[in-house]
Amino acid sequence: MTLGPVMLDLCGTELSAEERELLRHPQVGGVILFARNFESTQQLIALTQAIHAARQPPLLIAVDHEGGRVQRFREGFTRIPPMRRLGEIWVDHPQRARRLVHQIGYVMGAELRACGVDFSFAPVLDLDYGESQVIGDRAFHRDPQCVAELAHHLMLGLKEAGMAAVGKHFPGHGFVIADSHLAIPVDERNYIDMLIDDIEPFRQMIDYGLPAIMPAHVIYPKVDEQPAGFSAKWLKGILRGELGFDGVIFSDDLSMEGAKAGGDVLTSGQAALAAGCDMVLLCNDPASAKTLLDGLKAAMPPVSLARLTRMHGKPHPPSLTQLHEDPHYVDAVHAIGGIGQGSGDLPLDVVPVR
């Protein structure tokens, strides 16, 4: 059995019998974890082992673990500051900011890998225009060059820890005020304006070898009437064609309000895959999971399977105990501890923020 094109979530801290059966469905290819799936590092390790043992090849396991407001696992994990803090440091001390964000990527990736998580949906490549209801301090900066530089070093830190990076939310979610979890945002800007600003970090990160991208549930009517995640113009024409991206494209959550422009969950899932996504996400809607899986007619193209296979985490480190005794890790954690947490300590897990 190969990986399927759907990533689902779970209800609790261990697999139920129904979930074990669901994960064996041929259309399933991955699992995304949330705070409700976490009690402790040992429990998390047991859960990821059970998910990986459910079938062969093992399903991908992902999480939203950016830092600040969006860090699903807290107890036993290093608190990661919001990325805006790194952008603030970059203004006066760019080299220090690059070094710190590399250490953040390493610590974040190493801790997740030690617990069996394959990858995190990070970094955010959106620009901080200061008005977005959902992006806010998750973004590094308003300056595209700052975002590209710091995201590159975060990706390098993740790679050192054995983890692939996922840039989001293409082609840029930071300009619109509306939250795509609750509304269907519309960005009226011209493509050329976006190319100079919001798309620039994605372009540079693609050149650096970014393994995966998640598009935004935002409509850009000057380019296409469909949200970017359902638009072949954006995904096949611009992202794959003009920008030359050859990594994985993950849809954002199909249960979000911003996805409803694509129709019901089955229609939107098929539309996202047809537009160019390699894998679609469905979260916090267990009643619709079976509908999507049983109704989906899309077969996994060999090129998508090859891309997704590269998202499996690399072996590093063998255990949390060994990680905690590693001088490189200890030094990195100490460096991160010196960055102010500020508003990033506020919890944000009531909606599946990606």
Q: What is the rounded distance in angstroms from the CA atom of residue 125 to the CA atom of residue 331? A: 27
Phi, then psi, of 329 in degrees rounded to 5: -65, -45
Which listed residue (252, 253, 278, 312) is catalytic? 252
Look at residues 100, 225, 216, 193 and name the one whose alpha carbon lies nearest to residue 150.
100
**CA angle (346 as vertex; 115, 150 as ends), nearest 5:** 65
Look at residues 63, 50, 56 and name the one whose alpha carbon lies nearest to residue 3.
56
Neighbour count for residue 105 (Cβ, 10 Å): 29
316 annotated active-site:
no
Q: Look at residue 225 and give its three-state secondary structure.
A: coil
Strand 119-120 relative to strand 60-63: parallel, antiparallel, unpaired?
A: parallel
181 annotated active-site:
yes
Phi, then psi, of 167 in degrees rounded to 5: -85, 140
Count CA atoms closer than 13 A to 214's CA, side-chain side.
25
Q: What is the rounded distance in angstroms from the CA atom of residue 74 to the CA atom of residue 121? A: 16
- 314: its two tokens: 């690399």
Contact indicator for 230, 199 with CB cutoff of 8 Å: no
Contact indicator for 61, 120 with CB cutoff of 8 Å: no
Rg (CA), the chain: 19
Which listed residue (141, 153, 173, 181) is catalytic? 181
Q: What is the DSSP letter of 6?
A: E
Look at residues 352, 247, 351 and name the one whose alpha carbon lies nearest to residue 304.
247
Q: Which residues are catalytic?
A: 181, 252
